[in-house]
Amino acid sequence: SSFHLVALWRFRRLMPWLPTGLIFSDDLSLPLRRAWAAPVLGVQLLAAQSVLCDRAQVAAWHRRGYTVLAWTADDPHEAAALWAMGVDALAANDPGRLRAVLEGLSGVFAG
């Protein structure tokens, strides 16, 4: 996964069988923070800064076939809200702190 579009494009050309992800944040230009390059890059994962996620956007990314990771979800309430939006994964600086909160949500970490 990378913010760097050219690096992702080159990597996909060299090793197309390996999954890749596009990382993006709210301080980028509109086309970059909306991940418009994702189809051209052939990525499977969208790693969005948490402030770019809402229920409609996460659903739209899923409809397009992407796995969605939200970063950095250090606040337990924010993490719970992101999980409720339907993100597939969360990145946090202290995952153990969030685990206790997320274990209480339906189906999380089951099995």
**Six token digits for residue 29:** 């230009």
The 67-71 sheet, strands edge to edge: 21-24, 45-49, 67-71, 89-90
From CA 89, how far away is CA 77, in angstroms rounded?
15
From CA 52, how far away is CA 48, in angstroms rounded?
6
Residue 92 identity: A
From CA 24, how far away is CA 71, in angstroms rounded?
10
Q: What is the mean pLDDT of the chain?
A: 91
Along the chain (111 residues), what's the average pLDDT of each consecutive run of 10 residues? 95 96 96 94 97 97 98 90 94 84 63 43
Q: What is the pTM of this model?
A: 0.89
